[in-house]
Amino acid sequence: MTFAYVGCRTSAWRGARGKGIEVYQVLPDGEWRLIQCVESVQENPSWLTLDPLRDRLYALHGDGDVVAVWKRNQESGLLSLLTQQTTGPRHAHPDLDPQRRNNPVGAALTPDGQYLLIANHEAGNIAALAIDQQGLQPPHSLARLPGHSAMQEAPESLSRPHEIVFAPGSDLFAVPIQGRAAGNGIDMIRLYRWHQGEARLLDEIRLAPGSWPRHVDFHPSGKWLYGLSELSSTLTVLEVDAQRGALRLKQTLSALPEGYLTRSDASEIEVHPSGRFVYAANRGHDSIGVFAVDVQAGTLSVINWVDCGGKTPRFTTLSPDGRRFFSANEESDTIEVFDVDEQTGLLRRRGQTIVTASPTCLCFASAT
């Protein structure tokens, strides 16, 4: 038995329609059956991270400053609230939007399972929260992300992290960072090593100003890192030297078809478990770009673009076996399900649409 957990936006400020975290039972024939909807402790439970060691679900509250800890019943899949914790102090920069507070947008468990790392977008830091029996301790450390040097009398600069992704079987992790105007930030992708309870910066690659790196994903081999930038709608291929802890830019290409000139903001990137394909979601073009991976060089070439089956694909993911692809289409209130052609990488709609309000994140867990 498999369970699916769907995060969403709920706030009127975001024009959202979601009510809370939804829990689905995924039947052997692929049908989804809604079994629970838990109202969030605060607005916008928009990013979910599963903790399989403790049967927990961590929910980040976008535009807020709280992470909620939910206990997951292994047999039924149902959730019960355990506790909640702050994601850290707000940044004092006067140009920041007060409605977004810390705006935690992404999280990841450390390889030892002892810490939850949180990307506080509006606070400009990566917070490390130790995990204990009661839930989460207050932030243990804050890896701050400065922007361009400011004048001495100006407020402290900051850049905005948007995700945290560990390399397969490694203590290395990558962070795409946005250089938004407020805070005089820098567009870059950074490589860190998690060591003795601290995030140690190893290298960074700066990208074009105004590109807004949003999400990244590692190749299963760990040799390459693929990034997707939001405003420029570009894919970036980086070579990873794990021994030296270094990144090297290899390729930049568009996530959109040639000649497409209408506004579109890139959102999510996925590397297929086979390592042969990369998928990039486009909000505006409302498509999933399918790209082939050169198995020798790691570079990408276009295969095709597939309609996402809705509007504004904010989040996408693959099933663990790589046979199915899911697009959470935020503005059409749907999750569209695709079959993956394992030979060509192309996506084929199954004719299966899950209706759920303002979906923003999706993760799976198996029953005992």
pLDDT tens for residues 171-194? 999 999 999 999 999 999 999 999
- The predicted model gives 198-218 an average pLDDT of 98
pLDDT tens for residues 39-76? 877 999 999 999 999 999 999 999 999 999 999 999 99
User: How many Å apart are CA 288 and CA 275, to the nearest integer?
Assistant: 17
Q: Which tokens hold the place of 262?
A: 């209408």
For a pLDDT cut of 90, what percent of the chain falls above it? 93
pLDDT tens for residues 131-172? 999 999 999 999 999 999 765 556 789 999 999 999 999 999
pLDDT for 77 equals 97
Threshold 0.95, pTM exceeds: yes
pLDDT for 154 equals 64
| DSSP state letters, 154-219 | SPPP--EE---EEPTTSSEEEEEEE--TTTT---EEEEEEEETTEEEEEEEEE--TT--EEEEEE-
Residues in Cβ contact with 237 at an 8 Å cutoff, skipping those fewer than 6 apart: 224, 225, 226, 249, 250, 251, 252, 298, 299, 300
Q: Where are the alpha helices (DSSP H) in 62-102?
A: none
Q: How far is CA 67 from CA 41, 60, 120, 141, 211, in A?
A: 9, 5, 11, 16, 28
Q: Yes or no: say if 240 and 223 are a contact pair by the CB < 8 Å rule.
A: yes
pLDDT category of residue 219 using cuts at 50, 70 and 90: very high
pLDDT for 150 equals 64
